[in-house]
A and B are shown apart, each in its own frame.
Chain A
Amino acid sequence: MSLLEVRGYRLAFDGYEGTAQVLNGIDLSVEEGEAVGIVGETGCGKSVLARSLLRLNPEPPARIVSGSIRFAGEDVLTMRGAALRKLRGTGIGMVFQDPATYLNPVFTIGRQLEDVLRAHGHRRGIADRSVALLESVQLRDAGALLRRYPHELSGGMRQRVLIAQALAGNPRLLVADEPTTALDVTVQRQVLALIADLVTRLRLTLLLISHDLGVIGALCRRVVVMYAGTIIEDAPTAALLSTPRHPYTRGLLAAVPDLDRPDRLPRGIPGSIPSLRDPPSGCRFHPRCPLAMPVCASQAPRLDGDGGGGPAGDRRGDQAGCSGGEPHRVACYAA
């Protein structure tokens, strides 16, 4: 049994201007101990998907249309009250993008860690536990830090405090949503090294959401690419980078400027992301796709490719960079 199993999950947001089909049939399994990255551009639904795992999207406006999410065998979509509180923090810990907005400016770090520990049922030894948590994220002088306020900390330190909070309930799965996007590159390196260390030391399963394939490549062996609310490719990271199969993934890679190849001008992907209130029929990428065929507009290809009947679908370990026969799945008729 997978630790996390998302099947045919569709989520819509109802608004005055209509209904946006934000997640459109997500299938994703994450095994215990895996580190999986989700990459995609603004509005592709990666953060909404991450929040869905903890049921953090307010319902309404969010509305679950269909599908299931199971964590450790339990149905997340029917959870309420105490079960949901237990899932949040002890089942799944979450780290968000902007460390400045997720800490309350008027309370000390110690008070905010205490709140989290109390919410997880701790009553005694809270100060000791707080110090141990801050030390586990490699913050020095943890005792003094407990009396500090968020504004007295650097961005990197704040993100470490948030990681400590996410770990306070000993979760099995850590979901990190753009954890280093607000940080400078040198600090980003340190925070990524910390996450890698914690994942190994605490045997965590990791789901890392980022728009940056470099960040995902540093931590994840497997990566899932999202476009306009659908997963369009799911592959070992090395295989995705060396032999991307979906035309969108190829476009995404061609758009990244490469410091070591200044002669290669990055190419943009023509057009822009579609409206999710009125998404294109069939494959949501087909209006921008250089390889689009008539069938692409009428029927959405499935991630396992069985809608296409051709060579698309599971290819196990038959290409360079794909190790150990792990599946490389793509939702495209032309790939």
Chain B
Amino acid sequence: MTALLAAEHVVVRFGTHRAVDGVDLALHAGETLGLVGESGSGKTTMLRLFLRLVDASEGRVLFAGTDITHGRDAALRALRRQVQVVFQNPHAALDPRMSVFAAVAEPLRLLGGRSRAALRDHVAALLGDVGLGTEFMARYPHELSGGQKQRVCIARALAPQPRALLLDEPTSALDVSVQAQIIELLAALRVRHGLAYLFVSHNLAVVRLLCERAAVMQNGRIVEQGAAAQVLAEPRHPYTRALLDSVLRVAQA
């Protein structure tokens, strides 16, 4: 089966630093892949590579079997539509001068071909999909809580009906009670829309909950990958074991 997104022997250099150092990684349609590791391990660079926001210094990046390593404009149009991203900090990801309606409608406008009324209905449906009522349309980011902002970011990402969401620490800026709501939402959306997730996170417990597969990065390399249940419960690599041992458990009865 052709992978939706694939990196083959990819190296990304920033100056002399190899942020990604010979990585092979594939995201298949409909699957959830967690990419974990500490700060500076290269996990966000991998996500940006799949979005073509950074360029590979060596190796190839494939989208649905097509080489997009050096593709420009038209060659990337399908990627831009079918692969969407949700960033870590919802407070910074929304334009403070755009209403919720404008933010969610923007990608739909760029795709074109909708009447004003149809656009409104579509935005309402997208907001409903992420658990926000139509009363939110006229609001601005500063009137929303962190969780509500992240819901708007997810609605915006869903607008072009993507096949995959690349999620860069989508719950890390949120409180636990809100994080739990967003996890529930992401789990439900995935089933509802048959989405693939590339879930970048340093939170192993969240990855364990949401992902079927997990890959562990350290110093730009993938040191272990496999079924999340195996990697995050019976790790083989000493680094994965060290990461797991460092997680502070809240002992509950």
* A interface residues with partner B (beta carbon < 8 Å): 41-42, 155, 184-186, 188-189, 211-215, 217-218, 241-243, 251-260, 262, 265-269, 272-273, 320-321
Contacts and interface: CB of A to CB of B under 8 A. Distances in A.
B138 interface: no
3 tightest Cβ-Cβ pairs between the two chains A and B: A214-B248, A268-B181, A268-B180
A17 to B, nearest CB: 12
A184 B247 CA distance: 10
Interface residues of B, number: 36
Nearest to A155: B39
A215 B209 contact: no
B243 A186 contact: yes
B176 A265 contact: no
Contacts of B248: 185, 188-189, 212, 214-215, 217-218
Contact of B184 (A184, A262, A268): A268
Interface stretch (B71-79, B111-119, B197-205): B197-205
B89 to A, nearest CB: 13
Given A186-B246, A265-B183, A217 B251 contact: yes
A218 B245 CA distance: 13
Interface string B223-253: 0000001001000000000111011111111
Nearest to A183: B39
Interface in B155-202: 175-181, 183-184, 187, 202
B183 A266 contact: yes
Contacts of B38: 184-186
A257 B203 contact: yes
**Chain A, interface SS category:** loop
Contact of A258 (B175, B184, B246, B252): B252
A267 B250 CA distance: 15
B145 interface: yes
A42 B3 CA distance: 40
A313 B66 CA distance: 67
Nearest to B253: A242
Contact of A259 (B176, B179, B247): B247
Contacts of A256: 176, 180, 205, 250, 252
Contacts of B242: 186
A309 to B, nearest CB: 28
B176 A252 contact: yes
B62 interface: no
Contact of A188 (B176, B179, B246): B246
B208 interface: yes
Given A241-B251, A257-B203, A268-B181, 6 more contacts: A189-B248, A251-B177, A257-B179, A258-B250, A273-B145, A320-B253
Interface in B130-150: 145-148
B206 interface: yes
B253 A243 contact: yes
B250 A184 contact: no
B202 A185 contact: yes
Given A184-B39, A185-B202, A262-B209, A213 B177 contact: no
B177 A268 contact: yes
A25 B17 CA distance: 53
B39 A259 contact: no
Contacts of A186: 38, 242-243, 246
B76 to A, nearest CB: 33
Nearest to A180: B248
Nearest to A273: B145
18 contacts: A42-B175, A184-B38, A185-B202, A186-B242, A214-B248, A218-B248, A241-B252, A255-B177, A258-B249, A259-B208, A260-B249, A262-B229, A265-B183, A265-B209, A266-B176, A267-B184, A268-B180, A269-B177
- The residue among B208, B242, B244, B250 with the most chain A CB atoms within 10 A of its own CB is B250
Given A211-B175, A268-B181, A259 B249 contact: yes
A215 B251 CA distance: 11
Contacts of B252: 241-242, 253, 256, 258
Nearest to B249: A214
A267 B183 CA distance: 9
